[in-house]
Amino acid sequence: MRVWIIVLCVLIVVGIGVRLAFAGPVPDVGTTAPDFSLPSESGAPVSLKDYRSKWVVLYFYPKDFTTGCTIEAHNFQRDQDQYAKKNAVVIGVSVDSADSHKQFCAKEGLNFKLLADTDHKVSTEYGSVMNFGVTQVAARHTFIIDPEGKIAKSYTSVDPNKHSEEVLAALDELEKK
């Protein structure tokens, strides 16, 4: 009986692994970041070009109210003062609706922008769409965009528990260049 349970668990994990697929390549470091305009949690449109002259931490995340996404958002929120001192803004993007983002921000005390990419266009341009079975979500990717609008660094493997500290350290290094 135990062997059958183990075999079943392995088949389920392999099956899920096969259904997880990413769409498209991420933009290369040094290239111009794809511009966009998406509705924020307030419904107001936010464009990348609005942040020229600032560092932008553009992070894609799978789903509002999930454990990893909540941890990652809390850590970015905790470090907002440090980002401001570095002339940097944090912007989150997922395929959830603006209303979902509004509720997420209210419940979790977030005061940075969360953008609704409900048609998955921006997530696709950044190579950050993940097929999860029959559903598409944003993959957990982050891009640091320099004040001139170029991609300075990208992360395609993110640990939500320590990612904000990792990004702050990268901003320190990038500012030295």
pLDDT for res 7: 37
- 33, 46, 58, 69: the catalytic one is 69
Does 147 score more than 90 pLDDT? yes
Find the mean pLDDT for residues 155-174. 96
Q: What is the pLDDT of residue 23?
A: 56
Mean pLDDT of 99-118: 97
What secondary structure does DSSP assign to 45-87, as a single string? Answer: EEEGGGGTTSEEEEEE-S-TT-HHHHHHHHHHHHTHHHHHHTT
Taking 90 as the threshold, does the pLDDT of residue 148 lie above it?
yes
pLDDT tens digit sequence for 137-146: 999 999 999 9
| 22 and 127 Cβ atoms separated by less than 8 Å | yes
Q: Which residues on neighbouring strands pair with residue 114, listed in sequence order?
A: 92
Model-level pTM?
A: 0.86
CB 168 within 8 A of CB 79: yes
Say if residues 90 and 121 touch (Cβ distance below 8 Å).
no
Find residue 88's DSSP bridge partners.
55
Q: Which domains does the chain have, with CATH numbers?
A: 22-176 (3.40.30.10)
Determine the pLDDT at residue 154: 97
Q: What does the pLDDT look like over 48-105, one tens digit per residue?
A: 999 999 999 999 999 999 999 999 999 999 999 999 999 999 999 999 999 999 999 9
105 is catalytic: no
